[in-house]
Structure 1
Amino acid sequence: MRTPVPDNPARPASGRLPYPERRFAYLGPEGTFTELALRSLSEAAGSALAPAATAVDALALVSRGAVDAAMLPVHNTVAGVVADTVRALAESPAMTVLREVVFPVDFALLVRPGTPLARVGTVSGHPHAGTQVAGWLDRRVPRARWIPAPSNAEAARRVRDGECDAAVAGDFAAAQYGLKVLFTGIQDTAGAATRFLLCARPGGPGTRHPARADRTSLVGRLPDRPEDVGGLVDGLRRHPFLRAVSLRTVSDGRGGSVLFADCPGGTDRPATARAVGLLRLRVPGLRSLGSYPSAAHVPSYERSKTMDTEITSEAGGPTGLASGDIARLREQIDALDRFLIGTLKQRLETSREIQRIRTGSGGSHVDSGREVSIRGRYTDELGEGGAGVAEALLEMCRGGHRGEPPTGHDGDTVAPPPSRP
């Protein structure tokens, strides 16, 4: 299945822009998933889009006022947090997040025309992409050498220029770099999605307080290495006021760490304000990236007071979402649902296999200790509702699928990290 590339015309046929014209940066070069996520926003239509080589470069453009906002990847459901982005946010001057975009990712293997798989000796891509396709590469090109790249599009450029044999990238990048799609859907886990953040200067263009805020993020530096701050982070996770907060740490590359925190809700909610205050008390230097709409609730990006088109809700009243925006978001939700269902089916099959192995050697049907761990993981990531999601998933695994007899729960949900890259 080819990944659809949203259109971003220079100007609509009517000659009128639905949003004030803005300037955006994104992690480039052209042909990245980050560009695709940015182009999915209605407010990017007709705007100048500038690719940046790194997250640091993109935020530097924002700080200098060369662009109004920058789109950056921050987390992938398979590969985890994007360390380069988190480090860049911690190192840059004050930034605020305007909104987030969650985008499904499918990878393809791109080669120069005429290159067969047997001649692929080097493969390049972003480290996050490499993590997500490691199994496929080990099976199909086990002798190929992995060459990390700042972005998947940069990997495609390297293939075009003869610097390596193949690139892991979105299939939409093939036309951009004159390459051939040799294989599609090479990711090891179905349903992977990446979360992107649109970042701007506080008080800059387009940074009006959103009509609603579903998430508040913070970032800050810690003096010790990630492996040495585990006790502090675990203590924060166990605090009764912080159980719904997601906490992730990455190395800062200089012997210290960067902590990235996501709190559900905006700071206008007492529980969120209390969590933010406690985090900043326990981690001096932690600064807020602001409260912003989650991907499920995305209002307009500073609409003009002189708009030519009236924007109404489905009920007919004024709203921050045009009907076209709602339809687009629903299509995105439908796509995510399809990916989620596919991933759940994979998880159920894995559960059955573990169950067969365990019961075959005389083991028990249910590992209660692992079930407790799974509930805790879902609660940490999704808040109070995560416990219900985990219980439903565990119950599904205990009771079989589509009328099959009970198989028991596998007691494990996280595979060991791949060896490549």
Structure 2
Amino acid sequence: MDRPPRPQRRFAYLGPRGTFTERALRSLPEAEGARLTPAATASQALALVLRADADAAMLPVHNTVAGMVPDTLRALAESPAPSVLREVVLGIEFALLVRPGTPLARIRTVSGHPHALRQVGGWLSGRVPRARRLSAASNAEAARLVREGECDAAVAGEFTAAPYGLRVAASGIQDTAGATTRFLLCARSGGRGLPALAPADRTSMIGRLDGRPQDVDGLLADLRRHPFLRAVSLYAVRDGGRGSLLFADCPGRPDEPPSARAVGLLRLRVPGLRSLGSYTAAQDPSRPHDPSHPNDLCHGHDSYEGSRTMPTEAADVTTTGAPRPAQPTPEDIAQLREQIDDLDRFLIGTLKERLRTSREIQRLRTGRGGTHLDAGREHAIRGRYAEELGEGGAGLAEALLQLCRGRSAR
């Protein structure tokens, strides 16, 4: 009996046609024969997924020279429950595209995505110093502007020239050799997408912070110093208003103890931080894969801080597939106790901050004629602790509530 044909896969990507994002999508075997739909913005690409008009969307998230892509982070933060399925890392080389017959001396305007313009700024200043730089939604959109005569030149990949009838005036114009861009294939949680690759070795999270990136530097520096977060990569970008978006990459899956501790701590410090899912990290094309490297999931593209692995509290805690460590030495135990002392200092400081905040809420409630306590709120707190920490969580919550009902910390 013949099986019914499998439905055609449908993918969206940051377009129009001819972007590096399209190239990243086409690098996936599953994209062959699929219906590929370009979107003008990252938000529009995710909207196609949410409306079930696409199974998944490919979006650029980070470049090793220009940093995070704010538009993508804003789209991920605003979209309800997107889930990352795959990651692709591409080497990036730029070319200057012009209409046939246009010499460099006649170029007065150059367009490209802001990330692209940032990566070729030195070359442009040296070769076309009088050209005004115009931002475009994508490099392919910049190529369209050149084709339509609205701009003299575009910064894009060489492969973008042919679809738009343009000529490559110069190639390899990037200021930094070996740059790579990281792309994420995102689906709707629970929707039809691609089968997951195993094993997943990265978990990404996103959330909002009060204050602009320069205003939250202290918080980020404090988080990066924490023993549980030494292998976590943290990025902050403007959210388009007065706040910031925090993007975090944690090695491993949330069900692995080191990752679970990192995720739990981040959620404690950044309320509302949510997971974008766990997936397999891609290999950086600029260097060969080294399976013997203790943290090779970094793949060299600036995703994690160095090659340090996440600390554990017990010597027999391992990640999937890793060999069991040797018996602990007194030095190992002393080092772990130092980490416990660091954590205790962090927890005590956090409890003092919570206590002060709780007392301020009580002052405001009673000042307006309200009651000293909110029974419904306390019940919800007990339930939250019990859900996250098990049977002992409710008891811990009760002790915390009792502390906050009494005297504030000095």
TM-score by length of 1: 0.67
Residue correspondence of structure 1 range 321-360 to structure 2 within 5 A: 335-337=285-287
Cα distance, 1:222 vs structure 2:
1.1
Deviation for aligned residue 1:383: 4.0
Q: Conserved in 2, the CA contact under 8 Å of 1:237 and 1:380?
A: no
Whole-Å Cα distance in 2 between the matches of residues 185 and 379 of structure 1?
Answer: 25
Matched, 1:381 2:305: yes
Q: Report the counterpart of residue 246 of structure 1 in structure 2.
A: 233
Shift, 1:199, TM fit:
0.2
Shift of 1:380: 4.8
State the Cα RMSD in Å.
Answer: 2.2
Pick aligned residue for 2:70 from 83, 88, 108? 83
Task: Confirm or deny that 1:197 pairs with 2:121.
Answer: no
Match among 27, 43, 48 for residue 35 of structure 2: 48
Partner of 2:59: 72
1:171 aligns with 2:158: yes
Secondary structure in structure 2 of the residue aligned to 1:188: coil
**Alignment deviations for residues 260-298 of structure 1 (CA, whole Å, 9 cap, x no partner):** 0001112232101110111011100100001001113xx
Offset, 1:382:
4.0
Residue type of the alignment partner of 2:223: L
Aligned to 2:136: 149
Cα distance, 1:117–1:197 mapped onto 2, change above 3 Å: same
Amino acid at match of 1:337: R
Preserved contact between residue 379 and residue 385 of structure 1 (Cα < 8 Å)? no
The answer for unaligned runs of 5 or more in structure 1 is 1-15, 297-332, 339-376, 387-421
* 2:115 is aligned with 1:117: no
Matches within 5 A, 1:6-405: 21-206=8-193, 210-296=197-283, 335-337=285-287, 380-384=304-308
SS in 1 for 2:125: helix
Q: Counterpart of 2:115 in structure 1: which amino acid? A: H
- Matched residues in 1 for 2:200 and 2:21: separation? 23
Q: Which amino acid aligns with 2:172?
A: G
How many Å separate the matches in 1 of 2:157 and 2:280? Answer: 27
Q: Who wins on radius of gyration, i.e. which is larger?
A: 2
Q: Percent identity?
A: 70
- Bigger relative CO (Cα 8 Å, ≥ 6 apart): 1
Shift in Å, 1:337: 2.9
| Mapped partners of 1:191, 1:245: distance in 2 | 23
* Matching residue's letter, 1:98: L
In 1, Cα distance between equivalents of 2:54 and 2:303: 38
Using the alignment, how far apart are the partners of 1:260 and 1:115 within structure 2?
Answer: 42
Match of 2:396 in 1: none
Q: Is the 8 A contact 1:245 1:383 kept in 2?
A: no
Q: What residue identity is the alignment partner of 2:146?
A: V
Q: How many angstroms does 1:208 deviate by?
A: 5.3
Change (3 A) 1:291 1:378: closer
Give the drift of 1:210. 4.2
Deviation digits for residues 376-412 of structure 1, max 9, x if unmatched?
x9895344169xxxxxxxxxxxxxxxxxxxxxxxxxx
| 8 Å contact kept, 2:249–2:303 | no
Cα drift, residue 227 of structure 1: 1.2
Distance 1:42 1:240 in 2: 39
Q: Name the CA distance, whole Å, in 2 between partners of 1:250 and 1:383.
A: 24
Closer, same or farther: CA 70–21 of 1 in aligned 2, 3 Å: same
Q: 2:123 touches 2:175 (CA, 8 Å); kept in 1?
A: yes
Q: CA deviation at 1:251?
A: 0.3
Number of residue pairs matched by the alignment: 296
Q: Deviation digits for residues 283-314 of structure 1, max 9, x if unmatched?
A: 00100001001113xxxxxxxxxxxxxxxxxx
Q: Verify the 8 A CA contact 1:19 1:43 in the aligned structure 2.
A: no
| In structure 1, C-alpha distance between the alignment counterparts of 2:71 and 2:22, rounded to whole Å | 17
Other-structure match for 1:303: none
5+ residue gaps, structure 2, are 289-300, 311-410
Instruction: Indicate the SS of the match to 1:241.
Output: helix
Distance 1:236 1:91, change over 3 A: same
Q: Is the 8 A contact 2:231 2:309 kept in 1?
A: no
Q: Flag as ranges the 4+ runs of structure 1 deviating above 6 A.
A: none
SS at match of 2:286: helix
AA at the equivalent of 1:158: L
Letter in 1 for 2:48: L
